[in-house]
């Protein structure tokens, strides 16, 4: 009998109300420096330091700093006020959130609509970047604006806290202006000045994803597709036990495409992999799965979840997960992209190295937590749940699991009869030990 003690019921139209505002925090570097930077001599020292580092001219200082007296009277967030008004192109980080349902991925792609194209169009229209620089980046792959994203997202995949870095001209009304030009399913929630060497991808020390999925996907029987299904405590515990198998460093060459076992880049470190307690919405039960790691390969998360679903529904034994890390190629199903979203990106190393100087704020986006969570629920979760209830893509995908072998690679096209691979063996067709 199912135990409902771990359930919480959240009607879809009340999602916004479940988000509580985060505790207000003052970054230590602001608090420590505030009392120290209270006289004009210290302000002069900070200004001179910025001139040396960023190459600013003395006649531009009035545009960058309000006045010395204003700084001494300001609140503890003087770092933000110190760099809020830019007089020329600067390197910045943007906090970006979007629902990917209507787009063919984050990264630029000719002839289809992408998040990057929409963002750059808006930046160009508000004259934050030059039109020719946008064209060179989108068409000719010439990156004069130093544009970089923290993570790629596939077609239909969303992001609650994507970070991009680029050089642009911004004003104090930048966020308001850019959001007026963006569609409702794309928002820019934050802007921070960063060092010239900052790269949203290379400086990222970790990424966290969510996967929202109906609980019947993990039913112990292959013929269960009903939204009335409620996961039992026993099955929920098994689910988290299987997910924990992925934690640590493993060779995930079978969870992506185009990487052999010998490719060292197939080794990835998973920090945590867990399912949160289920909740109910419009008669369906959903589970939000959280995955965090240093970095992920294309399709990796969707295949990790796909394999656990196959184990839960009895298509393959539990030890298939550990055998998938061996050299032999395995046939692993890829879960639908609908439920996947980039949840957070982390810049721990960058923050420790560059954000104790009183000039740069840590890239944590903690001040935007409430409005980002609201967007995630109102736009991303709503879109995923609404699509699942209306079109049942998970049910359609579950019915394809019987077509996978799990323990060997299926040849997509026949080899020529006279073909011989290395040492006379056909490549990547051998079975996994079973």
176 & 289 share domain: no
User: Residue 70's pLDDT band (boundaries 50, 70, 90)?
Assistant: very low
211 & 314 share domain: yes
187 & 230 share domain: no
Among 131, 112, 109, smallest CA distance to 122 is for 131
Residue 7 has a pLDDT of 52
User: Residue 143's pLDDT band (boundaries 50, 70, 90)?
Assistant: very high
Among 366, 326, 273, smallest CA distance to 21 is for 366
- Concatenated DSSP letters for 145-207? T--EESS---TT-EEEEEEEEEEE---TTHHHHHHHHS-TTEEEEEEEE--TT--TTTT--EE
Residue ranges of the annotated binding site for substrate are 209
221 & 181 share domain: no
Question: For 404-416, how does the pLDDT look when each residue is reduced to its tens digit (9 = 90+)?
Answer: 999 876 544 444 4
CA distances in angstroms from 343 to 208, 381, 400, listed in the order given: 5, 12, 28
Please identify, among 193, 224, 251, the residue that sits at the C-terminal boundary of a domain.
Answer: 193
Q: Which residues are catalytic?
A: 154
Cα separation, 114 vs 154, in Å, equals 10
Please identify, among 276, 307, 333, the residue that sits at the C-terminal boundary of a domain.
Answer: 333
**159 in any annotated domain:** yes
Cα separation, 24 vs 28, in Å, equals 13
**401 in any annotated domain:** no
Share of the chain above pLDDT 90, in %: 69
3-state secondary structure of 234: helix
3-state secondary structure of 360: coil
Average pLDDT over residues 229-250: 98
167 & 220 share domain: no
Q: Cβ of 56: how many Cβ atoms within 10 Å?
A: 16
Exposure of 17 by Cβ count < 10 A (0-12 exposed, 13-18 middle, 19+ buried)?
exposed
**323 in any annotated domain:** yes
122 & 210 share domain: no
Tokens of 383: 């879109």
Cα separation, 129 vs 91, in Å, equals 12
96 & 141 share domain: yes
H or E stretch at 108? none
Angle at 395 between CA 389 and CA 399, to 5 degrees: 170
**15 in any annotated domain:** no
Residue 69 has a pLDDT of 37
Number of domains present in the structure of the chain: 2
Among 341, 334, 331, smallest CA distance to 289 is for 341
Residues contacting residue 169 through CB under 8 Å, at least 6 positions apart: 86, 88, 89, 90, 127, 128, 129
171 & 218 share domain: no
262 & 173 share domain: no
* Domain coverage including residue 136: 86-193
**299 in any annotated domain:** yes
Residue 410 has a pLDDT of 52
- Residue 419 vs residue 125, higher pLDDT: 125
Using a cut of 0.85, tell me whether the model's pTM lies above it. Answer: no
**259 in any annotated domain:** yes
**2 in any annotated domain:** no
CATH code, domain with 167? 3.30.70.580
Cα separation, 230 vs 232, in Å, equals 6
**43 in any annotated domain:** no
User: What is the phi-psi region of residue 59: left when phi exceeds 0, alpha when psi lies from -120 to 50, beta otherwise?
Assistant: alpha
99 & 173 share domain: yes
CA distances in angstroms from 42 to 33, 38, 69, 337, 354, listed in the order given: 10, 7, 12, 53, 19
Chain centroid to Cα 279, Å, comes to: 23
136 & 216 share domain: no
Above 50 in pLDDT, residue 431?
Answer: no
CB 15 within 8 A of CB 378: yes
Residue 1 has a pLDDT of 47
Above 70 in pLDDT, residue 331?
Answer: yes
Average pLDDT over residues 365-391: 97
CB 303 within 8 A of CB 32: no
Question: For 163-218, how does the pLDDT look when each residue is reduced to its tens digit (9 = 90+)?
Answer: 999 999 998 899 999 999 999 999 999 999 999 999 999 999 999 999 999 999 99
Q: Residue 268 pairs with which residues in a beta bridge?
A: 250
- As a whole number, the mean pLDDT across the chain is 82
CB 303 within 8 A of CB 333: yes
Residue 279 has a pLDDT of 97
- Residue 416 vs residue 132, higher pLDDT: 132
Residue 29 has a pLDDT of 39
H or E stretch at 79? helix 78-82
Please identify, among 193, 227, 258, the residue that sits at the C-terminal boundary of a domain.
Answer: 193
CATH code, domain with 318? 3.30.70.660
Residue 233 has a pLDDT of 97
176 & 243 share domain: no
Q: Give me the sign of the Cα torsion angle 289, 103, 307, 434.
A: negative
Question: For 4-31, how does the pLDDT look when each residue is reduced to its tens digit (9 = 90+)?
Answer: 445 555 554 544 444 444 443 334 433 3
């Amino acid at each position: 009998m199912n135990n409902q003690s771990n359930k919480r019921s959240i009607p879809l139209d009340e999602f916004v109300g479940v988000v509580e505002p985060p505790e207000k925090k003052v970054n230590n570097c602001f608090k420590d420096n505030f009392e120290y930077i209270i006289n004009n001599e210290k302000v002069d020292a900070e200004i001179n330091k910025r001139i040396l580092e960023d190459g600013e001219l003395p006649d531009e200082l009035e545009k960058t700093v309000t006045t010395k007296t204003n700084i001494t009277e300001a609140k503890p967030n003087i770092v933000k006020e110190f760099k809020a008004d830019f007089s020329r192109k600067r390197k910045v980080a943007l906090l970006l959130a979007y629902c990917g349902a209507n787009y063919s991925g984050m990264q630029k792609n000719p002839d289809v609509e992408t998040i990057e194209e929409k963002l750059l169009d808006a930046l160009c229209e508000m004259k934050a970047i030059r039109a020719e620089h946008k064209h060179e980046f989108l068409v000719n792959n010439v990156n004069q604006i130093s544009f970089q994203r923290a993570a790629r997202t596939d077609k239909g995949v969303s992001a609650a806290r994507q970070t991009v870095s680029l050089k642009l001209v911004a004003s104090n009304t930048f966020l308001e202006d850019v959001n007026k030009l963006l569609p409702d399913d794309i928002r820019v929630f934050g802007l921070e000045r960063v060092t010239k060497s900052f790269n949203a991808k290379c400086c990222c020390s970790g990424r966290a994803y969510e996967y929202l999925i109906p609980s019947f996907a993990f039913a112990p029987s292959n013929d269960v597709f009903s939204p009335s299904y409620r996961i039992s405590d026993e099955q929920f515990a098994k689910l988290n036990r299987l997910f924990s198998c992925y934690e640590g460093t493993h060779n995930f060459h079978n969870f992506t495409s185009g990487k052999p076992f010998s490719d060292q880049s197939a080794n990835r470190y998973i920090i945590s992999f867990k399912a949160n307690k289920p909740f109910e919405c419009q008669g369906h039960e959903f589970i939000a799965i959280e995955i965090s790691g240093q970095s992920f390969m294309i399709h990796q998360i969707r295949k990790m979840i796909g394999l656990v679903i196959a184990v839960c529904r009895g298509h393959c034994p539990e030890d298939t997960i550990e055998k998938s890390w061996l050299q032999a190629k395995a046939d692993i199903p890829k879960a639908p992209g609908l439920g996947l979203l980039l949840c957070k990106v982390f810049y721990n190393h960058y923050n420790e190295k560059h954000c104790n100087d009183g000039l740069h704020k840590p890239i944590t986006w903690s001040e935007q937590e409430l409005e980002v969570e609201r967007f995630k629920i109102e736009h991303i979760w709503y879109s995923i749940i609404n699509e699942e209830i209306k079109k049942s893509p998970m049910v359609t995908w579950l019915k394809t699991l019987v077509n996978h072998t799990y323990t060997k690679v299926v040849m997509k096209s026949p080899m020529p009869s006279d073909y011989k691979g290395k040492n006379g063996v056909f490549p990547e067709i051998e079975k996994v030990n079973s």
